[in-house]
Structure 1
Amino acid sequence: MDEKSLNLPDHLQRVRAAAERALAPIRPAGASTATPQNLLFDAQRTDAGRNLPPYYLVYFLLIDLLEFKNLGQFEKLAWSVPVDYKGKAFLIEHRKFGIGIFVDNPQAHETEAAEIATRIQKATKVARPYFEWRAESAVADSKLNVKNYTDELHQRFQYVYGEYQKIVADIRREEERRRSLSREERMSDWDGYFSEPYTLTEKAAWLASAAIDAFFSFTEHVFIHLAILQGTISTGNEVASLASADWGNKFKAVFDLQEPTSKRFYDDLTEIRRQHRNFVAHGSFGKQGEAFSFHSGAGAAPVLLPHMRGSRKFALTGPLTVNDPEGIQVILNFMNYLWSGGREPARIYLQRTSLPVILTMAANGTYAKAMQSCEEMESLAEHMVEQWDRSANMDW
């Protein structure tokens, strides 16, 4: 967006004036500013410049809000703003290795550079209402990138699941070893078993719970990106709304529950999430929500909490408990289903590249075209990775 100060609402005009006062005596460099002849090429980074706010806030403050002159891009340089501080020229620049304050003789001007950094920090705080307005405008305009952590979250799941598999294998080996012992040897062996701080069975249960939690974190994230690539959502407000929705609504944004396989996975995963993930989230009383038990002629009888029932009524019974191995197997089966059929091209973009999902490309049909085949998506991904690398290296 290109909003200039003259088009700002009245309350932001006041913010602009307050930011100017906070920044003073820093002003745009002009004819009266003492400027070395080759400053643009010879200026060096000051230590004080490392204390500047994030580069985008400085850009929005100086160039967007206060309309300082931007000298534009150059090799390894995203933008450059020449400023006058007490008659001396300094450069505020975002270079490949970060934003900074640059001057012809850094050692001689560290004090002034520190004062510039302090004033920019103060002006940035004053300009916060403007930054909020810019953010809201950007979301409404949908010119946004949606960060993509699909591969990172998938790796987390794979790691925890791998550790779970190791413990399960240890349990099997231990069971085989104990079967080979005599009755006397097995009885003696229990002493060593219970002297361990954690049993293998306990470790397996904890790792299963961690793997299930990692799976739902992964799917909460990836469903949003799949919905964008599939064209279900394409605006910033839609993304924000889906991000705040529960897991079930995210699932429905990607899968058609009229399709039997999708409906079966939805039902099974919903029950796993209810029993396993909510078990941890709501105090770990029991996977059916058994926080209470009451005295009866039958002995202690469990009472299920309301949050496990979906109503405000307590109960004695609930669905059958989903055991850890069963739940893990459902998750593994779903992982294969997730990237099957028309969703297969999305895996190339989301999991192999870690590129953000760009809403303007969703709106103009770029993703819809790429989702038609793996070959189309490979081509788009390669092009985007090249563009991203060039941008990161500031190879303009």
Structure 2
Amino acid sequence: MLIDPKTKKSLLNLLSGLEKPIKSRGFPAGFYDSAVKISLNQSLQRGFLLKYVLVDIMGFPCAYQPIEKVAWEIDFVFNGTHCTVSSEKFGYRLYIRSKDRKIISRLSNQLPLIFNKAVLLLQKHLETFSASEIEKGDIIIVNQYKELFDMYTFFKRQAQRKRNLRNIKTKEKDFAKSWNTGIKAGRESFYFEQAAYFAFFGLLEHLLVLLLAFRNFNPKAESIKKFIFLKWSEKYKRIFNLIDGQFNEYYMFLVKLSRQNRNLYAHGKFSKDNSSMLVYLAGTGLISAKPFNFNDNADAPLFRWLGGSGESFQKLDKFLQLLTEHIDFKVSMQIIRGGLNIDFSPKERREYKKLMHSGDASEFVEHTNDLIDRYQNMDW
């Protein structure tokens, strides 16, 4: 990322009090034993950019992975006091080599302010840089499949639990009480079902975006950002070939499900068929403005009170299972379910193609997760 001369001049003025050490890693033996360690976790904003400011722009020396649990260290001298700022397993740390409490107090307050102002100067350039990378399609999508899947599973199971309560035969002799208990369980089952449908379509939309990286994505021909905000049905048709009978069948099922449940409740139960409106018919009274349909009983009050059967969830689960077994999606689902973020860069998309050609990504997922775990724990 390039910055303009004006911004660099501002950074130079802001950081003018920081001097590079005369010798790289030239601090005296026992430096850390005699230094005061201060946590910057609460005071430092966007600390991950600090190394970029000090090293990549300003040219300060940096030690990468000098010891276990430390990602990088940057040495500098500020107003004659030797200091180090570092990225460690449990956060960012500032080391001040001084026994003077006044100096320690002043620097522990002053340096985080300077660092934050330096990072803030980059904000405009970061926005421009990010927009450019997105336009090129050179981005990584954070994989949130597990969280969204768990959310869907939670509501689905809660709906099932309420259905089971509805169907339990009790010894309650009071018919009204027994009836009301069953109705309450059915109604709550219906509420959880609606939440589960919302969660599933959220999961589906996220999954379709992740799968784009495996479906001959061409950043010159299509925009990731525009794709993200397409309707789920448009994304579905881009990812899945509807000539395939299975995917066409699920598409029709999902369209119907979204119209009956997701769309209706997402828009305050207002629908295009006028079902939320009544008109007055002289001599009869209020009647529904909705066109009559003999088979349309899904929205009847009794249906909502009794709750559904759970059959829709079985079909949704079979759809997800199909993706894990289908020859075109087995590898991509291994990677997605393995929790890896999805990299849209040309290099990684070529790697994905190789894995899809091999038919198995289990070793790739295991190896990558091991590297991520080691990096997060800073085990070098």
- Per the shorter chain, which TM-score range? 0.7 to 0.9
Sort the Cα spacing of 1:80 and 1:283 in 2 relative to 1 into closer, same or farther, 3 A. Answer: same
Per the alignment, residue 375 of structure 2 pairs with 391
**Farther-moved stretch of structure 1 (225-234 vs 256-265):** 225-234
Residue 308 (structure 1) aligns with: none
1:80 matched residue in structure 2: 73
- Look up the match of 2:62: 70
SS at 2:124 equivalent: helix
Q: Which amino acid aligns with 1:102?
A: Y
Query: What residue is the counterpart of 1:190 in the other structure?
Result: 176
Distance 1:320 1:327, change over 3 A: farther
Deviation at residue 105 of structure 1 after TM alignment: 4.7
Q: CA 1:287/1:162 → structure 2, altered by over 3 Å: closer, same or farther?
A: farther
TM-score relative to the length of structure 1: 0.80
One-letter amino acid of the counterpart of residue 332, structure 2: A
| Residue aligning to 1:136 | 131
1:61 matched to which residue of 2? 53
Tell whether 2:133 aligns with 1:151: no
- Alpha-carbon shift at residue 208 of structure 1 (Å): 0.5
Q: What is the one-letter code of the residue matched to 2:249?
A: R
> Of 229, 239, 245, which aligns to 1:244?
229
Aligned counterparts, 1:349-388, within 5 A: 349-351=335-337, 353-360=338-345, 363-372=348-357, 376-388=360-372
Given the alignment of the two structures, is residue 267 of structure 1 paired with residue 252 of structure 2, yes or no? yes
Secondary structure at 2:117 match in 1: helix
Q: CA deviation at 1:60?
A: 2.9
Q: Distance in 2 between matches of 1:112 and 1:203?
A: 58
Describe the superposition over 1:301-343 as per-residue Cα deviations: whole angstroms up to 9, x where unpaired: 3336xxxxxxxxxx67799566744533432332222323121
Distance 1:254 1:347, change over 3 A: same
What is aligned with 1:280? 265
Q: What secondary structure does 1:171 align onto?
A: helix
Identify the match of residue 85 of structure 2 among 78, 83, 92.
Answer: 92
TM-superposed CA distance for 1:44, in Å, is 5.1
CA RMSD of aligned residues (A): 3.3
Alignment pair present for 1:227 and 2:222? no
Q: Give me the whole-angstrom Cα distance separating, in 2, the residues matched to 1:358 and 1:123.
A: 29
Query: How many corresponding residue pairs?
Result: 364
In structure 2, what is the equivalent of residue 296 of structure 1? 281
CA contact (8 A) 1:52 1:120 kept: yes
Counterpart code for 1:120: F
How far 1:203 moved relative to its partner?
0.3
Q: 1:206 aligns with which of 191, 196, 202?
A: 191
Q: Structure 1 residues 322, 291: CA separation in 2 closer, same or farther (over 3 Å shift)?
A: closer
Paired AA for residue 262 in structure 2:
R
Instruction: Write the distance in 2 (CA, Å) between the matches of 1:190 and 1:287.
Output: 38
- Does the 8 A contact of 2:167 with 2:182 survive in 1? no
Task: Please name the residue that 1:346 is paired with.
Answer: 332
Question: What is the match of residue 95 of structure 2?
Answer: 102
Moved more, 200-209 or 126-135: 126-135
| Structure 2: gaps spanning 5 or more residues | 300-307
Q: Distance in 1 between matches of 2:127 and 2:9?
A: 17
Q: Which AA in structure 1 matches 2:62?
A: N
- In structure 2, how many angstroms separate the alpha carbons of the residues matched to 1:362 and 1:391? 21
Structure 2 contact 198–262 (Cα < 8 Å) conserved? yes
Shift of 1:219: 0.8
Cα distance in 1 between the residues matched to 2:137 and 2:30: 39
Whole-angstrom distance in 1 between the partners of 2:105 and 2:220? 45
Q: Distance in 1 between matches of 2:23 and 2:334?
A: 56
Higher helix proportion: 1
Rounded Cα–Cα distance in structure 2 between residues aligned with 1:48 and 1:107: 20
Q: Which residue of 1 aligns with 2:304?
A: none
Distance 1:212 1:321, change over 3 A: farther
> Which amino acid in 1 is paired with 2:128?
W
Deviates more, 1:159-168 or 1:358-367: 358-367
User: What residue number does 1:115 align with?
Assistant: 110
The aligned counterpart of 1:312 is: none
- For residues 393 and 282 of structure 1, the distance between their equivalents in structure 2, rounded to whole angstroms, comes to 45
1:141, CA displacement in angstroms? 5.0
Q: Which deviates more from structure 2 when the two are superposed, residues 57-66 or residues 274-283? A: 57-66
CA contact (8 A) 2:343 2:349 kept: no
How far does residue 213 in structure 1 lie from its aligned partner after superposition?
0.9
Whichever residue aligns with residue 82 of structure 1, its letter is: D
Aligned residues: percent identity?
A: 18
Please give the per-residue CA displacement for 1:192-212, whole angstroms capped at 9, x wherever unaligned: 644x69811210110110111
Deviations 1:64-122 (A, max 9, x none): 33333323332232222222321212112112221221223588413312210011112
Aligned to 1:217: 202
Give 1:140 shift: 4.3
Mapped to 1, the partners of 2:16 and 2:364 lie a distance apart of 48
Matched position secondary structure for 1:102: strand
Structure 1: segments with no counterpart, 5+ residues: 305-314
Contact 1:272-1:322 at 8 Å conserved across structures: no
